[in-house]
Amino acid sequence: MTRIHLSPPDVGRAERDALLDAFDSGWIAPVGPELVRFEHDVAARLGLPHAVALSSGTAALHLALRLAGVGPGDEVVVPTLTFIATAAAATYQGAQLTFVDADPTSWCIDASLVEQLLDERALQGRLPRAVVTVDLYGLCPDYARITAACANHGVALIEDAAEALGTTVDGRPAGSFGQSSVLSFNGNKIITTSGGGMLLSDDGELIDRALHLATQAREPAAHYEHEEVGYNYRLSNLLAALGRAQLAGLDERIASRRATRARYTQAFADLDSIGVLYDPEGQQSNAWLTVITLDPAATSVTPTDVRLALEADDIEARPAWKPLHLQPAFRDVEVVGGAAAERVFSTALCLPSGSNLSTADQDRVIEIVRATVLGTSA
Ligand SMILES: *Cc1c(COP(=O)(O)O)cnc(C)c1O
């Protein structure tokens, strides 16, 4: 038996052909027709007019924050329950972070806490420069309330949709709620370019600026003229070709991940101690990862017990994101609430969810989870 990974790349013949075709076309540098097409195709999928393909989601977040005018000492509001990249990008700009707790249903940033925080800051006369939301595990926060609160106070909203490509909220795509939004095509995401990301917006000027900054802010002159300092953040044309081939199969990948989640849910339905993270009302998520929770009131078995039992059978499972306010790197950052995120961290476990997970392999996972929780041996 081979190792079962959490969310491995799902690539095949189509990706290999696309990559080699791009290679044979001679466009090897981070410029070329595949980049333009990839940007167009992803933007069309999100119903947005403009996009720039970048070397990572983190690079996209960094540009989004810089273009929102975030500079040294500016406050940036970030959910505490997320991957470090969301906050790291603000740190690159010298921003002052404020972490906000998770909504107990969606696990995304708590909309009422965002509303309260912005109202409070408005009274103090020191509004944050930006709020960054994260569409966590493919689910979205309450955007009706968050977009309204940000608009009321004139605060920029940046959407980190790295985990949520393909999710919709009342039919509207994740990645279309922020002034600018960010996707990741890292190896573990629902589609991959091996590494890569994208910044999208309906503001064409913002995307033009992002492209300029992502290519060392080079002015059109033979001698490499620079009026400002940029970055080397552009995606390679080869990887854009890989991304386009992946995007063509996005709907099948979503269907597969949703079927996997439904199968886990069915398999644990008789166990009161196991819950499964599910789409809030109105949302149709991409089910990027199936995340289960173990109710400590119903079982003394912990997520660590289950994870180690799976690991003993060469199966990869992972705890939920460790809240950023508990990370040593952010020990001095203010947090609003935090108990909901801590509860997620102590009770949740992400199960293998790749779109190429076979039912036989999923059965192995299910058997071990059940046996561990029931205290029998698998
Ligand atoms: C993966 C991820 C990112 C960063 O993406 P990279 O492409 O790996 O830089 C940012 N935010 C969240 C929530 C992610 O899951």
pLDDT digits (tens, 9 = 90+) for 129-176: 999 999 999 999 999 999 999 999 999 999 999 999 999 999 999 999
Amino acid of residue 282 = G
Tell me how far apart the alpha carbons of residues 128 and 25 are, in angstroms, rounded to a whole number.
47
Q: pLDDT at position 19, please?
A: 96
Please compute the mean of the pLDDT values over residues 106-117 and round it to a whole number.
98
Exposed, middle or buried, 252 (CB in 10 Å: 0-12/13-18/19+)? exposed
Q: Which of the listed residues 63, 136, 163 should we mutate to test ligand 1's pocket, taking the one with most ligand atoms within 8 A of CB?
A: 163
Tell me how far apart the alpha carbons of residues 178 and 200 are, in angstroms, rounded to a whole number.
9
Give the three-state DSSP class for 218: strand
Q: Tokens standing for 207?
A: 């995307």
Instruction: Show the beta-strand stretches assigned E in 204-351.
Output: 218-219, 225-226, 274-276, 283-284, 290-294, 318-319, 334-336, 348-351
Strands 180-184 and 172-173: unpaired
Please compute the mean of the pLDDT values over residues 110-119 and round it to a whole number.
98
Q: Tokens standing for 329?
A: 């790197």
Strand partners, 219: 225
Q: pLDDT at position 20, please?
A: 96
Q: Which range is least confidently modeled, 27-36, 151-160, 319-328, 366-375?
A: 27-36
Q: How many angstroms does the Cα of residue 214 sit away from the middle of ligand 1?
A: 18
Q: Please check the confidence at residue 377 and state whether its pLDDT lies above 70.
A: no
Contact 218, 224 (CB under 8 A): yes
pLDDT of 310-363, one tens digit each? Answer: 999 999 999 999 999 999 999 999 999 999 999 999 999 999 999 999 999 999
Closest atom of ligand 1 relative to the 58 alpha carbon: 9
pTM: 0.97
Q: pLDDT at position 195, please?
A: 97
- Which residue ranges have their beta carbon within 6 Å of ligand 1? 56-58, 82-83, 85-86, 134, 160, 162-163, 184, 186, 197
pLDDT level of residue 305 (50, 70, 90 thresholds): very high
Closest atom of ligand 1 relative to the 60 alpha carbon: 9
Q: pLDDT at position 378, please?
A: 62
Contact 169, 139 (CB under 8 A): no
Q: pLDDT at position 29, please?
A: 83
Q: Which range is least confidently modeled, 27-36, 81-90, 292-301?
A: 27-36
- Residue from 288, 292, 289 nearest 275 by CA: 292
Q: Please check the confidence at residue 21 and state whether its pLDDT lies above 80.
A: yes
Q: How many angstroms does the Cα of residue 292 sit away from the middle of ligand 1?
A: 21
Please compute the mean of the pLDDT values over residues 299-310 and round it to a whole number.
97
Q: What is the overall mean pLDDT for the chain?
A: 97
Tell me how far apart the alpha carbons of residues 155 and 153 are, in angstroms, rounded to a whole number.
5
Q: Tokens standing for 252?
A: 């099948």
Q: How many angstroms does the Cα of residue 90 sit away from the middle of ligand 1?
A: 14
Tell me how far apart the alpha carbons of residues 99 and 146 are, in angstroms, rounded to a whole number.
15
Contact 197, 60 (CB under 8 A): yes
Q: How many angstroms does the Cα of residue 161 sit away from the middle of ligand 1?
A: 9
